[in-house]
Structure 1
Amino acid sequence: MPEPVRERRYDTVFFDLYGTLVDIRTDEESPAAWEALREVLEDHSGVTFRDAAALKAWFDTLAAPVLARAADARGGNAEPDLLPVYAALAAERTVVDPASRGPRAVAMADVGELANLGPTVLPWALRLAWTFRRASTNLLRLYPGAAAMLTRLREAGLTVVLVSNAQSGYTRPELRWLDLEPLFDGIVISSEVGVRKPSPDIYHIALDGVLADPGRTVMVGNDERADILGAKGAGIDGVYLRTAISPQDDPQASTHAVLSLDGPDYAGLMEFLGV
């Protein structure tokens, strides 16, 4: 007599990206990364900075009001898109020592809204962002079995959604490079929706995007606070993967998760999901 088919507990699976599906190492403080950006600005738009440190100082200065406005609007979990900051860099002319500019110069800096970037400005901002991202990334690769696991879940009829804290200008190219985009039914990136995990808002956005029931949805991630507790705040169960780039103070197993696994154990995850 055949065994009865076990009813699945979940219809929808949300995934974190970095540290859950993708192994990555970045250093956004790297002088070499800022130097790569400085060289592209100088070679292709004539914008001259004294050195990489001067460029970083001016980028941080331009980004500060963007971050502040976002925090005022969305609170501590705000995630503004920084592409307008890259666009503002390209709009500069010759900058010898931007760190010495006064408050008036900062106030007059042309950092617009993402929606207002024109068709010629946006590609240039994307190019600058991707230049910096590539130069600041030391490692980028899928964990073994990640793509096959995502494919198997969808073949089994589950809805698969990416929910990532990230800058779209960095992550969208990486998703394409890793051939991940076609493996998701939905993609929610924090800078595109203005809010980051652990805010329940980003989870509600992801749920609404695929018309999912939170009670039949599970979040898989490697960060207990952002992925497990954040999802729990939206009524979503969590599966915790303790990987090499989980936060250092995270536990080996999360008491807040319905399942904890050691590393990117996709076989264990699929067994739990009944796939």
Structure 2
Amino acid sequence: MYDNIIFDLYGTLIDIHTDEEDIAVWKHMCEFYAEHGVKYNPAGLRSKYKRQVRRAEQAMAKKKFKFPEIQILDVFEQLTRKKDQDADDCAELTVKAAQEFRKTSTEYIKLYDGVKEMLGRLKNSGKKLYVLSNAQRVYTLPEIQKLGIEEYFTDISLSSDFGAMKPDAVFYQQMLDRNHINPNRSIMVGNDAVCDIMAARQARLHTCYIHSKLSPVDDDQRYIKSDIMLDEPDMAKLCEYLLGEE
């Protein structure tokens, strides 16, 4: 029924909870930076981070995309840079700082039950699997590698790489074009009625909506028109639908 299956990540395949407001996170980041000769206090570092995020968003708003996405590494570069610091040293520390922040602010991250079994069965049946996610590569690539699912995907398209995010149609189209995907033979699987379902339908893709605890609250008030509807992340049932066995 479907040759290509495009997955959202967080709330669809991955269950995650982060808390970037927790002052303990910022205390830890101050300790991290102090070890590398950059001094902050927790409240000051948190304020500077938010200020740099706003500036990045304002700069991206001037771009051509309807739903622009910032590059979080640009934010951490501003937090990390020291006077007369070697560019390569700054770049390396910037990546380490971003990943340390993500690790520290993540309370838990795990696959939903049955994800690996589902992906393996789909791939073994000849399906091509893809990721299309609003995510920062510096965070997400290490996470999917640690969770052991990178190998299942033909292509992983993340918004931080492209500069635009779902529900922007151009973000969908760049993946379809790059991989020569026929939308009539393809389905988007996600947990967001607007970003994953409405936008995918505009790209002429079939759709599968999964309601999870990470789905937007507004989804409960929306009439969601999707080819497949699941009221929870049930991977066994999802696999049956995607293989045409249900």
Q: TM-score, normalised by structure 1?
A: 0.83
- Alignment-mate amino acid for residue 57 of structure 2: L
Q: Using the alignment, how far apart are the partners of 1:197 and 1:75 within structure 2? A: 11
- Alignment-mate amino acid for residue 134 of structure 2: N
Answer whether contact 1:15 1:161 (CA < 8 A) is retained: yes
Aligned residue in 2 for 1:27: 19
Gaps of 5+ in 1: 1-7, 94-116
Gaps of 5+ in 2: none
Aligned: 1:187 with 2:177? no
Identity level (%): 36
Q: 1:156-175 maps to which residues of 2 (within 5 A)?
A: 156-175=125-144
Q: Using the alignment, how far apart are the partners of 2:35 and 2:49 within structure 1? A: 18
Q: 1:1-275 maps to which residues of 2 (within 5 A)?
A: 8=1, 10-44=2-36, 46-49=37-40, 51-92=41-82, 118-251=87-220, 255-274=224-243
Answer whether contact 1:161 1:206 (CA < 8 A) is retained: no
Q: Using the alignment, how far apart are the partners of 2:222 and 2:185 within structure 1? A: 22
> Mean alpha-carbon deviation: is it higher for 58-67 or for 33-42?
58-67
Answer whether contact 1:220 1:227 (CA < 8 A) is retained: yes
Q: Using the alignment, how far apart are the partners of 2:209 and 2:46 within structure 1? A: 35
Q: Using the alignment, how far apart are the partners of 2:66 and 2:93 within structure 1? A: 29
Q: Using the alignment, how far apart are the partners of 1:82 and 1:150 within structure 2? A: 29
Shift of 1:215: 1.4
Q: Using the alignment, how far apart are the partners of 1:132 and 1:207 within structure 2? A: 33
Task: Report the secondary structure of 2:56's partner residue.
Answer: helix
The number of aligned residues is 242
Answer whether contact 2:131 2:157 (CA < 8 A) is retained: yes
Task: Report the secondary structure of 1:170's partner residue.
Answer: helix
Task: Report the secondary structure of 2:63's partner residue.
Answer: helix
Answer whether contact 1:78 1:195 (CA < 8 A) is retained: yes
Answer whether contact 1:38 1:48 (CA < 8 A) is retained: yes
Task: Report the secondary structure of 1:29's partner residue.
Answer: coil
